[in-house]
Structure 1
Amino acid sequence: MRLLIIGRLNGELVTASKIAMSRGAAVTQADGVEQGLGVLRAKGADLVMIDVGLPIRAFVTALGEERIRTPVVACGTGSDARAAVAAIQAGAKEYVPLPPDPELIAAVLEAVAADARAFVWRDPAMERVVTLAEQVARSDASVLISGESGTGKEVLARHVHAKSSRAQKPFVSVNCAAIPDALLESELFGHEKGAFTGAVARRIGKFEEASGGTLLLDEISEMDVRLQAKLLRALQERVIDRVGGAQPVRVDLRVLATSNRNLAEEVRKGSFREDLLYRLNVVHLRLPALRERPADILELAGHFARKYAEVNGVPARPLSAEARRLLVTNPWRGNVRELENTLHRAVLLASGAEIGPEAIRTPEGDALDGPVGTAARAVQTAEAVTRSLVGRTVAEVERDLILDTLDHCLGNRTHAARILGISIRTLRNKLNEYTDAGVPVPEPGQARAIAAYG
């Protein structure tokens, strides 16, 4: 856990720094915003704590302009309520009052240092995957982790890192599907000042930020083929070239990659390099879908029920026998992510001493009544949808499907592309076409605007 404290280490900030170090954080200090930006460009960090008296809005804006995604927490005297509100409005994720409470500091560090989802399993199918993962964890071999969306590929990657000899070094993750092709190269390899418009200073990339530790290339199948060639050289030679740089930079790290696609099939299509697949696929960990590991369903359900009871400050309740039956028989097409969201809702909706089947509901509030009822509703819905499509062109149907899916994902293009089964690149091209035609397209975090279009 790498913590950057921005502000002069007087009194309370010294105490906060000591608490963080006692909890295992590696602490770096910068006196002001410019010095802090320099540290982030040169070394990176997992969390920034900044004095509330400094220009937080300008700092957060600068992070956005340089595409530095490190979360920011403001800190200041507990009596300064207006400053706390202003800090949150300026873009800080949290406000920590000073003098610091050790447990509060620990909670903030824990929330950032690890994925909130614990690594929980019981099914023999999952046991085989975990056993193989732990056998290879201490090596430096590249590992490819595949599986459907929501199966927990990043959680398994973090587990491999935690069991490796690099566990005390950084774990850095980059989502290849969420970053435009034009920016992904500098995100991975860094850039020199003036390399392109907006490159206001030298900045290290994820390869250098993960030095000594582990780099996770999440959804690597979405990476452009041209960039794959540069990645292949980095993996083979352990040398990278910053964008605009004149000298190669040597790196020491372990690379993990995830994909929800069949990369061998992508090679046949010509969208993924065969030599890169061989380089990544030294060890292949295939995560089974949740429906293929039924013993994990109740284990995970119990974990999520306890977790969200604590998060929401409600009594922890066991699952009733009928609720457990309902959970086991559901197909869980969204895998662990869908199960987690369902249990979160159940914790909020449950009443009485147990979580009963009446609390196990879909996001729309409908009852989750097992595969038989689901199949019957699916047939009825399919018939209704088919009737509604008559008289419309294929292009119109495709447009509405894409925009409705994007609306369902609140503008998150990566999630929408996964649901639609297309690449993020194809989705962007379609959305650009719709925008040029005057069709409203939701931005990330927004629902679709209601508008009439032909």
Structure 2
Amino acid sequence: MMRLLVVGRLSGQLATAVKMAMTHGAKVSHVERADQATEQLRRGQGADLLMVDYRIDIASLIAANEAERIHVPVVACGVDADAKEAADAIRAGAKEFIPLPPDAELIAAVLSAVADDEKPMILADPAMRAVVQLADQVAASEASILITGESGVGKEVMARHLHTRSRRADKAFISVNCAAIPDNLLESELFGHEKGAFTGAVARRIGKFEEADGGTLLLDEISEMDVRLQAKLLRAIQERVIDRVGGSKPVPVNIRIIATSNRDLAKAVAEGSFREDLLYRLNVVNLRIPSLRERPADIGVLASHFIKKYAAANGVPVKPIAAPAIRAITGHPWHGNVRELENAMHRAVLLSAGAEIDIDAIRLPDGRPLLGGAAPAATATAYDPGVAGTAAQMADAVTRSFVGQTVAEMEKTLILDTLNHCLGNRTHAANILGISIRTLRNKLNEYADDGTAIPAPQSGVANAYGSAG
């Protein structure tokens, strides 16, 4: 369940936004002042997102949290804020701006972008059924579980599935993305710290291990964790105690650990970047989720699910997907897996003009039509040959321009170009790129630290967010 902490006076419009968030499954708590927000986060009354009145000093709130190694994203909101005030809130560190009076679709989109935990397990393929059957067999145990698979296959969805079928289902499910949190913050995020443990630690802070006590702790992308922290994690798993940073005595914890990785951890062990003893402790049971290419029978049912989801989110009728389009998407490789398919179906819902969702409405992230699979000859004639030839030449030219660049340079170019295309809207850019908004923010922070200018949301920020789901 999404945990939302609202900071500011509950005016009528903000109260309405809170009710909308609760309707979408958020657990909401409220404080009026910034210092109260930091104090609540210290005590372990955790939040996945802060929704802050733009008139509060957002920069100071974020600085106070970061001084105590508290890592929670912020969205700003407010009544009658103009474009400059919205942009100022973003520059102060807010990830998004929500104009009030609130729009239900926008509230849902922002909550979904920050913590999309409402993804049900959708499957039809025998390969995936076998994995779920194994998951159901071990869900009620206390064994640590390692979920592996390519990026976008649904590892966190599987982790939540395990939790809901465990004996801890009525307790907390806490997720920590080890790749999204800087190393210097991750230790406090996980284990907490005592007053005076470092400059800025003005009070005790409860970490995620203690927040998850009695429940389940998901360590997402654990392969990105620093080796020093791996040793501390190993002790926590073995002895069921943790040490807060600066603490003098161990703190007992009762949690079940689930970890995910899209890397080959055995290879990481051989390279010296991952502890072998920790791998053995985590990998009591391994659930390898097949790529979407390995479970083609899931593609159609997932596509139908996403079409219904985004038709409802955008207030448009649900359309069936045409048979040629089904054949095309079933034959497409989907290197971004379920996440890429979801984004493609979202675009298809918006682009479809006929009674059915046909192949011409299904586009790749760069806008090109999806021409893979068994598309019929009639589909090809829907495009002018001259335009297709020109597009092919342009694509070839772009490909040649990438030769000689590193993968990191290509990735940076793609991310910044997409952000510019989206007028600085982080949520929309992440959707197009097929990555989580947390990953996008992490990349942008890296680029900013290197001195790269990052596009800020343009003056149409309020309108741009209306289609950011």
Could you say which TM-score interval applies, normalised by the shorter chain?
A: 0.7 to 0.9
Q: Cα distance, 1:119 vs. partner?
A: 2.4
Retained in 1: the 8 A contact 2:71–2:185?
no
Q: 2:80 — aligned with what?
A: 81
Equivalent residue, structure 1, for 2:298: 296
* Cα distance in 2 for residues equivalent to 1:228 and 1:277: 10
Aligned to 2:413: 407
Which residue is equivalent to 1:134? Answer: 136
Indicate how the Cα distance of structure 1 residues 168 and 114 shifts in structure 2: closer, same or farther if over 3 A, else same: farther
Aligned residue identity for 2:43: A
Q: Deviations over 1:211-266 (max 9, x none)?
A: 22211111111222222111100111111111112121111211100011222222
Paired residue secondary structure (1:409): helix
Counterpart residue number, 2:363: 361
Tell which deviates more after alignment, 334-343 or 114-123. 114-123
Describe the superposition over 1:172-209 as per-residue Cα deviations: whole angstroms up to 9, x where unpaired.
Answer: 21122223333322221122233234434322222122
Structure 1 residue 326: Cα displacement: 0.3
Deviates more, 1:24-33 or 1:41-50: 24-33
Aligned amino acid, residue 34 of structure 1: D
TM-score, length of structure 2 as denominator length: 0.73
What is the total number of aligned residue pairs between the two structures? 412
Deviations 1:364-414 (A, max 9, x none): 2222221699xxx9x999998998799xxxxxx354x321222223499xx
Q: Is 1:346–2:348 an aligned residue pair? A: yes
C-alpha contact (below 8 Å) 1:74/1:96 kept by paired residues: no
* 8 Å Cα contact 1:57-1:87 kept in structure 2: no
Code of the aligned partner of 1:81 = D
In the superposition, the TM-score normalised over structure 1's length comes to 0.75
Verify: 1:33 aligned to 2:34, yes or no. Answer: yes
1:219 aligns with 2:218: no
- Mark the CA change 1:106 to 1:26 in structure 2 (over 3 Å): closer, same or farther: same
Stretches of structure 2 lacking an aligned partner (at least 5 in a row): 376-388, 420-425, 458-469
1:212–1:381 distance in 2 versus 1, CA, 3 Å: farther
Instruction: Give the secondary structure class of the aligned counterpart of 1:370.
Output: coil
Letter in 1 for 2:410: D
Instruction: Give me the CA root mean square deviation.
Output: 4.4
CA contact (8 A) 1:403 1:441 kept: no
User: Residues 5 and 165 (structure 1 numbering): CA distance in 2 closer, same or farther, change over 3 Å?
Assistant: farther
> SS of 1:296's equivalent?
helix
Answer 1 or 2: higher relative contact order, Cα 8 Å, separation at least 6.
2
1:11-49 superposed Cα distances (whole Å, 9 cap, x missing partner): 999999899889987665545332221111111124445
Contact 1:33–1:54, Cα closer than 8 Å, also in 2: yes
Deviates more, 1:244-253 or 1:87-96: 87-96
Describe how 1:18-57 pairs up with structure 2 within 5 A.
Answer: 28-43=29-44, 44-48=46-50, 55-56=57-58
Maintained 8 Å contact 2:328/2:374? no
Give the C-alpha shift of residue 127 in structure 1: 0.9
1:205 aligns with 2:204: no
- Tell me, yes or no, if the aligned pair for 1:72 and 1:94 is still in contact at 8 Å: no
Match of 2:260 among 258, 261, 266: 258
What are the superposed Cα offsets for residues 60-105 of structure 1, whole Å, 9 maximum, x if unpaired? 45345545344556778xxx5349995785336535659xx9x899
- Aligned equivalent of 1:163, options 138, 162, 165: 165
Partner residue, 2:324: 322
Three-state SS of the structure 1 residue aligned to 2:217 is strand
Identify if the C-alpha distance between structure 1 residues 249 and 328 changes in structure 2 by more than 3 Å, giving closer, same or farther: same
Q: Distance in 2 between matches of 1:254 and 1:177?
A: 20
Identity rate, percent: 58
Task: State the alpha-carbon separation in 2 of the partners of residues 251 and 312 from structure 1.
Answer: 43
CA distance in 2, matches of 1:346, 1:21: 29
Residue identity in the other structure for 2:138: V
Structure 1, unpaired ranges of 5+:
391-396, 447-454
1:333 to 335, 339, 348: 335
2:184 is equivalent to residue 179 of structure 1: no
**Deviation of the 1:335 alpha carbon:** 0.9
1:59-78 alignment, distance < 5 Å:
59-72=61-74
Letter in 1 for 2:38: L
SS of equivalent to 2:319: coil
Going from structure 1 to structure 2, the CA distance change for 1:166 and 1:51 (only over 3 Å counts) comes to farther
Question: By how many angstroms is 1:160 displaced?
Answer: 1.2
